[in-house]
C-alpha cells in the first residue's frame, strides 16, 4: 500500500509540473535573440527515444527545422559553434512513465538540401559535429533500454550559440507541452515566434522612449532672483 501511495503521489507531481510547463513563457527575450540570424536545431543530449517510436526525436528535429524555415526569420546553421542560437528538442513519451531506448546514433542524417520560397536549408553533418555538452550521459554508442518517469510532454529549449557546449548554459527560453513539436502546428515554434514578436515590440517602445527623451530639452526652474 505504501508503495502504491508513493507512486500515486509521484505521478500526481509529474502531472502538476506538466501543467505548469505548458503555460506560455512570459519572459521577455534578450537582445541576442533579436540580433541572431542563424540557428542550429539539435536533439537534447539527455533525450531518450520512446520504445514505440525510436526515431521520435529525429522526426521532431526535422519538424522544428521545417517550421523555422517556414517562419523565414532565421537561417539554419550546420553546427552549434557557428550558429547564433541553438534550439534543443526532446520528444515526450505521452505518458507519465514509459519504456525508452537510449544510445546509438541520433544525428547521423545524410546531407540534404531543402528549399522554401526564400531560404535554403542544408541539413545533416559530415564527420562528427561539435558536442553540445560536456556531459552527454551514458555512452551514446551503446543502445540501452530503460523506463523514463516524467517527460510526457514535448520540450523545446533555446540557447545562445557560438560557444562551446551551449547546452551546459541556462536556456534563454523554453516551452513544454503535449505534441508541442508535432507538425503541422509545431506549437513550440509558434510560441517562440510570439515571444520574439513581443520582444521586438518592447525593444521598439524603448527606442521610441529613448528618442523622445533625447528630444526634450531641460528648462530653467524660473526661481532665480534678479541681481541688484
Q: pLDDT per residue over 152-185, tens digit each?
A: 899 999 999 999 999 999 999 999 999 999 999 9
The 3 state secondary structure assigned to the chain is: CHHHHHHHHHHHHHHHHHHHHCCCCCCCCCHHHHHCCEEEEEECCCCCEECCCCCHHHHHHHHHHHHHHHHCCCEECCCCCCCCEEEEEECCCCCCEEEEEECCCCCCCCCEEEECCCCEEEECCCCCCCCCCCCCCCCCCCCEEEEEECCCCEEEEEEECCCCCHHHCCCCEEEEECCCCCCCCCHHHHHHHHHHHHHHHHHHHHHHHHHHHHCCCCCCCCCCCCCC
pLDDT at position 123 over 50: no
What residue ranges do the domains of the chain occupy?
A: 21-208
Percent of the chain with pLDDT over 70: 57
pLDDT in tens, 198-217: 999 998 998 888 888 776 65
Amino acid at each position: 500500500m505504501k508503495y502504491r501511495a508513493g507512486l500515486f503521489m509521484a505521478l500526481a507531481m509529474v502531472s502538476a509540473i506538466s501543467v505548469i510547463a505548458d503555460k506560455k513563457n512570459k519572459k521577455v527575450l534578450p537582445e541576442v535573440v533579436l540580433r541572431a540570424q542563424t540557428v542550429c536545431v539539435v536533439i537534447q543530449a539527455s533525450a531518450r527515444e520512446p520504445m514505440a517510436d525510436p526515431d521520435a526525436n529525429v522526426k521532431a528535429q526535422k519538424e522544428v527545422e521545417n517550421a523555422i524555415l517556414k517562419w523565414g526569420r532565421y537561417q539554419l546553421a550546420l553546427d552549434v559553434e557557428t550558429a547564433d542560437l541553438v534550439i534543443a528538442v526532446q520528444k515526450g513519451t505521452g505518458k507519465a512513465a514509459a519504456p525508452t531506448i537510449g544510445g546509438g546514433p541520433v544525428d547521423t542524417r545524410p546531407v540534404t538540401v531543402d528549399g522554401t520560397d526564400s531560404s535554403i536549408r542544408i541539413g545533416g553533418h559530415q564527420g562528427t559535429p561539435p558536442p553540445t555538452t560536456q556531459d552527454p550521459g551514458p555512452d551514446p554508442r551503446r543502445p540501452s533500454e530503460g523506463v523514463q518517469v516524467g517527460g510526457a510532454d514535448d520540450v523545446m529549449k533555446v540557447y545562445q550559440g557560438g560557444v562551446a557546449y551551449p547546452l551546459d548554459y541556462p536556456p534563454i527560453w523554453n516551452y513544454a507541452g503535449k505534441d508541442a513539436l508535432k507538425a503541422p502546428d509545431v506549437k513550440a515554434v509558434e510560441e517562440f515566434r510570439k515571444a520574439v514578436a513581443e520582444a521586438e515590440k518592447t525593444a521598439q517602445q524603448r527606442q521610441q522612449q529613448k528618442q523622445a527623451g533625447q528630444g526634450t530639452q531641460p528648462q530653467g526652474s524660473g526661481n532665480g532672483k534678479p541681481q541688484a
